Amino acid sequence: MTLIIFDILFSFTFFSVLGWVIEVVYRSTRDGRFVNPGLLKGPYLILYGTAALILMGSISLIHGYNIFIKILYYFLITTGLELISGLNAQHFFNVRLWDYSDQRFQFKGHICLKFSVYWILLAFAFEYLLLPSYQSLINRLPSSAIVGSSTLLLALMIVDFAMAVRRKRYQGRVGGAGEMEEAFLKIAGPVLECPAVARLSQYNHHNGKTRLDHVKEVAWVSFIWGKRFSLDCRAIVRGALLHDLFFYDWLREGPRLHGFRHHNIALENARQVIALRPKEIDIIKKHMWPLTLIPPRYPESFIVCIVDTFCSLTDYMRARGKDKKI
């Protein structure tokens, strides 16, 4: 029983490698340069190994049938597998392993009549030429060679596949972050271009961090949370960027009881910079809650209020850590 399993594994890996050789020769000759086909880095194509196993397992089923039944059967097996593989690679890995869009009688670039005919011919060649030679080869090979080589190649394929999945996930994360930044900058850009907002870079806000850095940080983190909860991110970003729009060093100057008053000062300044909507007004006005007593009216205001407190506390803790080291 164990040997049968290893025979199957050996056949799978053997034909995966052979398929890779066929594809490399075909594609490299066509393109005039070395082309490594497939999704994985190693010298194997799982599609060929799978097709070979299915053919080996089912050839006896269609033995004795006329040629037309065999053609139809080989067409369904090979072209069906090609279609499933192409769709899966595109869906799960966002990769087009081949593209028949320029061919006649094609379906979404995944399959086409010309290559379906090639696959049928290859399936017949497999049945009548390749399979007998392969069977005599496997009968002569020692069991240790079958077990050793199939185990090694299968382990390599699994690691290769896991790395391909990991690469895809990483690319997905990078792409996602890029899209988020783009969406953020689309909203934040016009506000950041206002001279009054740019002026915030001249003021120290929390021990070494400028006020512009602070409002940008609060806006970005609030934006991420806003996206997560499907909130009004435009209001969040604009309100957060303007929530500390005042022009004095609050540690050394400015009105008494700064903590209780600066939200109103920021709101007055913000009104002169851009036209504010009710949510943006509430975000600026309530960002110091509970010092403002009246709680925020919108979830967007709560988010900015919490993020602002968190960012300020983090800055404070960092500054204390630095002081202790000194």
Closer residue to Fe ion (CB): 168 or 297: 297
Residues 115-134 that bind Fe ion (CB under 5 A): none
Task: Compute the distance between CA of residue 134 and CA of residue 293 in angstroms, rounded to an integer.
Answer: 83
Judged by CB under 5 A, the chain residues 305 through 324 that form the site for Fe ion are 308
C-alpha span between 186 and 177 (Å, rounded)? 14
Minimal distance, residue 218 CB to Fe ion, in Å: 6
Cβ atoms of residues 101 and 113 within 8 Å: no
CB-wise, 86 or 239, nearer to Fe ion?
239
Choice between 149 and 264, CB closer to Fe ion: 264
Residue type, 57: G
Round to whole Å and give the CA distance between 47 and 93. 15
* CB atoms near residue 183 (< 10 Å): 15
Distance CA 38, CA 44 (A): 8
Q: Which stretch binds Fe ion (CB under 5 A): 37-45, 97-105, 244-252, 298-306?
A: 244-252
Report, in Å, the least distance between residue 311 CB and Fe ion: 7
> Closest approach of Cβ 187 to Fe ion, in Å?
18
Cα 223 to its chain centre, rounded Å, is 20
CB of 206 to Fe ion, least distance (A): 8
Give the position of tokens 């039944």: 69
CB nearer to Fe ion: give 244 or 282: 244
With CB under 5 A as the rule, give the number of residues binding Fe ion.
Answer: 2
Nearest-angstrom CA–CA distance, 269 and 255? 15
Provide, rounded to whole angstroms, the least separation between the CB of residue 258 and Fe ion: 9
Return the number of the residue (18 or 284) whose C-beta is nearest Fe ion. 284
Q: How far apart are CA 310 and CA 206, in angstroms?
A: 13
Instruction: With beta carbons less than 8 A apart as the criterion, state whether 300 and 236 touch.
Output: yes
Residue 27's nearest CA partner among 14, 86, 51, 19 is 19
Selected range binding Fe ion among 81-89, 155-163, 242-250, 273-281, rule: CB under 5 A: 242-250
Kindly state the smallest distance separating residue 254's Cβ from Fe ion, in Å. Answer: 12
Which of 47, 304 has the CB closer to Fe ion? 304
Q: Strand 106-107 to strand 111-112: parallel, antiparallel, or no bridges (unpaired)?
A: antiparallel
Instruction: Please state the closest distance from residue 275 (CB atom) to Fe ion, in A.
Output: 22
Nearer to Fe ion, 110 or 262 (CB): 262
Q: Does 244 bind Fe ion (CB under 5 A)?
A: yes
Q: Which stretch binds Fe ion (CB under 5 A): 96-104, 164-172, 236-244, 250-258?
A: 236-244
| Of 16-24, 100-108, 175-183, 239-247: span binding Fe ion (CB under 5 A) | 239-247
Q: How many CA atoms lie within 13 A of 151 on its CB side?
A: 8
Least distance in Å: CB of 287 to Fe ion?
6
CB atoms closer than 10 angstroms to residue 53: 16
Nearer to Fe ion by Cβ, of 132 and 208: the residue is: 208
Q: Give the binding site for Fe ion (CB under 5 A).
A: 244, 308
